[in-house]
Amino acid sequence: MKNRKRTTIYDIAEKLNIAASSVSRALNNSNHVNEATKKLILKTAAELNYKRNTLASNLRKGQSKTIGVIVPFINQNFFSNVIAGIEEASYQKGYNLIICQSNELQSKEIKCVNTLINQHVDCIVISLSVDSNDHRHLQNVIDNGIQLIQFDRVADELETLKVINDNEQASEEAVSHMIEQGYKRIALLEGPQNLQIFRQRKTGYLNALKKHGMPILDELIIENAWTKELGANATRKLLNLPKPPDAIFASTSDFSALGVLEVASAMGIKVPSELGICGYSNEAFTEITSPSITTIDQFSVYMGKTVANLYFQELDNKEETEVIPKIISIKPKLIVRSSTKRIG
Amino acid sequence: MKNRKRTTIYDIAEKLNIAASSVSRALNNSNHVNEATKKLILKTAAELNYKRNTLASNLRKGQSKTIGVIVPFINQNFFSNVIAGIEEASYQKGYNLIICQSNELQSKEIKCVNTLINQHVDCIVISLSVDSNDHRHLQNVIDNGIQLIQFDRVADELETLKVINDNEQASEEAVSHMIEQGYKRIALLEGPQNLQIFRQRKTGYLNALKKHGMPILDELIIENAWTKELGANATRKLLNLPKPPDAIFASTSDFSALGVLEVASAMGIKVPSELGICGYSNEAFTEITSPSITTIDQFSVYMGKTVANLYFQELDNKEETEVIPKIISIKPKLIVRSSTKRIG
DNA sequence: TTTTAATCCGCAATCGATTGCCGACATTTA
DNA sequence: TAAATGTCGGCAATCGATTGCGGATTAAAA
């Protein structure tokens, strides 16, 4: 709070009795300024503890070197990892991050988008909130000349850059694995079907069953079981069926899978011998439950880096070759653990 | 990418054939403008899809309505929770967050600080990196008239606003609890002692021993065991002592405690009967290990909210009463779980 | 009807950095 | 020696929004 007034290029100019434009050029390392004066300016700038006012600079240059990120919750493992990845890649390029949480609410998501547009961010990175239905606010981003990149939870119909997981394939692989382990009645806990990722995971599940010539049993497919509690409730319901499942694929999240595991334990049902369990996301805890939970790794940090790098590539490429793929799909990896290992 | 050029107040002014200043006033809901024209302006602004250029506004007003946050890693539970808390409180006040990671490196921390100063953030919130030794960069923040708030890992000698946990007290409570459970030889895994929080936790440990008239055994105090791996190594060493401990307080983190638990399990040592374990942080996984781990909850989201609100209070209070406490200490809560429950 | 006050609105400066353009001077080439 | 080229520095406009001040119009008070 000492010098409320910060030193500007004018202060430096005045002190050295030169024009502010020269100071600006020197600080930007332009070659339109004599080497000697440049050194002098830099020295004086350091002495006066000069800090460039990025606001002014950005205003003039019409860019902000800032990327806005909107996620449902910052403190969910998957998202915080993606953000960490974005941050790492952006930092190297001298870009800053503005982070917003949509709290899974479209209404807040819209506000976040507007804030970021006002902030003149160069790029908005978003993973949709669960109740996101129409996408006018995203169209608005594009209309305002801001690069839009969607990741993970994407609106398919919008033609933007996207970084996604191959959910369908991963899901199919997981279910196939369970079938190979001898499970016959595999239940599916599905997430809100307005989100593409959950539709894809369901498709993967159905594909696997078809491929192995297994029947699709509607009573084993439970909607909207994507939190630990909902997963637990669904499990109670499933295990009390006349013909209960012998495996549960919690396609929504590991939290849901954890709910499954807890209910099974409480009911004295043995995992994996009597009930197989597979989650999604490879949350840290899946490794340390007993038994440990089979799950799918989404390479979240890598995903974040990919998002950022995609933006930077697109930036370099402007008006040039335009050969960059608009959609990058990252292949997730099935992590087989005890909760589904019945044989071998 | 449609209209590269966004509408400004001048566009609105021109269209309505009035002065830009009136537009500005209308948009700021000033009462120095006729109600009818105000309505007209607002309507036109909406029609033209006007978005305020926050950069220009902030430049003029000399503030940015932005809070910069620097943490070691975004994707560590504690920090992402604190950030979530800060975001929630800031959002309500119309403030944005710029997030940086120091990666536990002082060098990067300094760069982050400079970036944020350049960005003219109104406030910088920081939790120090582990190798943070001198604090000139923090002094620099203050000298630039930016409000500095430290949380959790703070530099004690700097007179700034601080939000901390009462580590000493929590630590003492945890160790006392273990003593009451009948543990006689309680080991301590300590963190890097240049960070105050770890010194405080050690002090709490020592206090508890003293209070209960128990000897302090140097061979049971292990330095720098603050990751899962280091915790595991330390445990191997401890359990191979001629007179091994019957309890381990992983004062650094739950990850460290997890390392302890894993080694104990691998060595066939029963927890809690043969070895008590207590962690720190109340990470989600501590609840689901078997046995579940006794730990200390730091109320991280609440901590974040407190940080943000502290800033806003200070803002309101400028030049006024100055009665706000400079240091807010949040009392953590001991969460007793199976890993230390030997009696009762 | 005249004075006073209130209400609106516009002019122009300002925030700090950047940049196109011009001119002064020095250096090189014809 | 004259012309052409290059180097360096300054002037002034610009980015978009805000705001102090003053002027004009209208309403209220005397």
Q: What is the pLDDT of residues A304-339, one digit of tens each?
A: 999 999 999 998 876 555 556 689 999 999 999 999
Instruction: Calculate the angstrom distance between C1' of C25 and CA of A34.
Output: 14
Q: How many whole angstroms separate alpha carbon B253 and alpha carbon B225?
A: 9
CB within 8 Å of A331: residues ≥ 6 apart: A165, A166, A169, A170
Q: Which segments of A119-227 does DSSP mark as H helices, in order?
A: 136-143, 167-180, 196-211
CA-to-C1' span, B306 to D5 (A): 65
Residue found by looking up tokens 């493992």 in the block: A77
Distance between CA atoms of residues B97 and A197, nearest Å:
28
Cβ(A1)–Cβ(B145) below 8 Å? yes
Residues of chain B positioned with their CB less than 8 A from the CB of A289: 288-289
Task: Tell me how long chain A is.
Answer: 344
Q: Is B55 on the interface with A (CB under 8 A)?
A: yes
Question: Is there a contact between B98 and A98 if contact means CB atoms under 8 Å apart?
Answer: yes
The separation, in Å, between residue B55 CA and nucleotide C15 C1' comes to 11
pLDDT band at A100 (very low <50, low <70, confident <90, very high): very high
Does residue B165 carry a pLDDT above 90? yes
Q: Is the dihedral of CA A318, A320, A324, A327 positive or negative?
A: positive
Distance from the Cα of B18 to chain A's closest Cα (Å) equals 23
Please count the other Cβ atoms lying within 10 Å of the Cβ belonging to residue A129: 24
The pLDDT of residue A131: 87
N-terminal to C-terminal alpha carbon distance within chain B: 68
A28 close to B (CB below 8 A): no
Q: Give the distance, in angstroms, between residue B29 CA and nucleotide C11 C1'.
A: 21
**Of residues B26, B31, B30, the one with CA closest to residue B41:** B26
Classified by CATH at the fold level, domain B64-164+300-329 comes out as Rossmann fold (3.40.50)
CA angle B1, B4, B8 (to 5 degrees): 130
| Residues in contact with A291: Cβ distance below 8 Å, sequence separation at least 6, in sequence order | A271, A272, A337, A338, A339
Say whether A125 sits in a helix, a strand or coil: strand
CB A87 within 8 A of CB B101: yes
The whole-chain average pLDDT of chain B stands at 94
The pLDDT > 90 percentage for chain B reads: 86
Q: What is the distance in angstroms between the Cα of B76 and the nearest Cα belonging to chain A?
A: 8
Q: Which residues touch strand D (CB under 7 A)?
A: A 17-22, 31-37, 56, 59-60, 62; B 5-6, 8-10, 20-21, 24-25, 27-28, 50, 52-53, 56-57, 59-61
- Mean pLDDT, range B170-198, rounded to an integer: 97
- Flag whether residue A301 sits within 8 Å of chain B, measured between CB atoms: yes
Residue B31 makes CB contacts below 8 A (sequence gap 6+) with none
pLDDT tens by residue, B33-63: 999 999 999 999 999 999 999 999 999 999 9
Opening angle at CA A129, ends A126 and A132, nearest 5: 105
Report CB contact under 8 Å: A87, B77. Answer: no
pLDDT at B325: 65
Q: What is the pLDDT of residue B32?
A: 86
Name the fold adopted by B9-52: 434 Repressor (Amino-terminal Domain) (1.10.260)
CB-based contact, B91 to chain A, within 8 Å = yes
pLDDT band for position B288 (50/70/90)?
confident
B4 vs A: CB within 8 A: yes
Quick check: A49 and B6 CB within 8 A?
A: no
Task: Show the 3-state SS of chain B.
Answer: CCCCCCCCHHHHHHHHCCCHHHHHHHHCCCCCCCHHHHHHHHHHHHHCCCCCCHHHHHHHHCCCCEEEEEECCCCCHHHHHHHHHHHHHHHHCCCEEEEEECCCCHHHHHHHHHHHHHCCCCEEEECCCCCCCCCHHHHHHHHCCCEEEEECCCCCCCCCEEEEECHHHHHHHHHHHHHHCCCCCEEEECCCCCCHHHHHHHHHHHHHHHHCCCCCCHHHEECCCCCHHHHHHHHHHHHCCCCCCCEEEECCCHHHHHHHHHHHHHCCCCCCCCCEEECCECCHHHHCCCCCCEEEECCHHHHHHHHHHHHHHHHHHCCCCCCCCCEEEECCEEECCHHHCCCC
Chain A: residue whose CA lies nearest to B81: A75
DSSP designation for A148: E
| Chain-chain contact of A87 with B96 (C-beta, under 8 angstroms) | no
pLDDT at A239: 97
Q: Give dist(CA A81, CA A219) in Å, integer.
A: 35
Q: If you measure CA to CA, which chain B residue comes closest to A114? A: B51
In B163-182, the residues whose Cβ lies within 8 Å of chain A are: none
Which pLDDT score is estimated for A343? 80
Check pLDDT > 80 for residue A344: no
d(CA B139, CA B250): 33
Could you give the CA distance from residue A332 to residue A297 in angstroms, rounded to a whole number? 6
Interchain pair A75, B83: CB under 8 A:
yes
Euclidean distance between CA atoms B48 and B16, whole angstroms? 12
pLDDT of res. B193: 92
Residues 6+ apart with CB under 8 A from B247: B178, B183, B185, B186, B187, B275, B276, B277, B278, B340
Confidence of residue B285 (pLDDT cuts 50, 70, 90): confident
Instruction: Copy the structure tokens of residue A90.
Output: 């952006």
Residues 6+ apart with CB under 8 A from A80: A74, B74, B75, B80
The pLDDT value given to residue A318: 67
Whether the CB-CB separation of A58 and A33 falls below 8 Å is answered with: no
Q: What count of CB pairs under 8 Å joins A to B?
A: 136
The tens digit of pLDDT for each residue in A131-165 reads: 888 999 999 999 999 999 999 999 998 999 999 99
Chain-chain contact of A59 with B54 (C-beta, under 8 angstroms): no
- Which of B80, B101, B317 should one mutate to test binding to chain A, selecting the residue with the greatest count of A CBs within 10 A? B80
- CB distance under 7 Å to strand C: residues: A 5-6, 8-10, 20-21, 24-25, 27-28, 50, 52-53, 56-57, 59-61; B 17-22, 31-38, 56, 59-60, 62
Backbone angles phi, psi at B64, to 5 degrees: -125, -5
CATH 3.40.50.2300 domain range(s) in chain B: 64-164+300-329, 167-298+334-340
CATH topology of domain B167-298+334-340: Rossmann fold (3.40.50)
Place of tokens 């160069």: A122
Arithmetic mean of pLDDT, A85-93: 95
Contact between B26 and B37 under an 8 Å Cβ cutoff? The reply is: yes
**Percentage of residues in chain A having pLDDT higher than 90:** 87
pLDDT at A326: 86
Q: What is the pLDDT of residue B344?
A: 65
Can you give the distance from the CA of residue B141 to the C1' of nucleotide D9 in angstroms? 34
Asked if residues A261 and A293 have their Cβ atoms less than 8 Å apart, the reply is yes
Q: Give the distance from CA B316 to its chain's centroid.
A: 23
CB distance B142–A97 less than 8 Å?
no
- Of residues B91, B118, B284, nearest to A54 (C-beta): B118
The CA radius of gyration of chain A, in Å to the nearest whole number, is 26
A130: number of Cβ within 10 Å: 17
If you search the block for the tokens 């807040």, which residue do you land on? A108
Interchain proximity A75–B58, CB inside 8 Å:
no
Report the residue of chain A nearest B111, measured CA to CA.
Answer: A91
A97 interfacial to chain B (CB closer than 8 Å): yes
CATH class of A65-164+300-329: alpha beta
Looking at chain A, the domain(s) classified CATH 3.40.50.2300 span: 65-164+300-329, 167-298+334-340
Cα angle A248, A250, A255 (rounded to 5 degrees) comes to 125
At A141 the three-state DSSP class reads: helix
Is A254 in contact with A191 (CB distance < 8 Å)? no
What is the distance in angstroms between the Cα of A212 and the nearest Cα belonging to chain B?
35
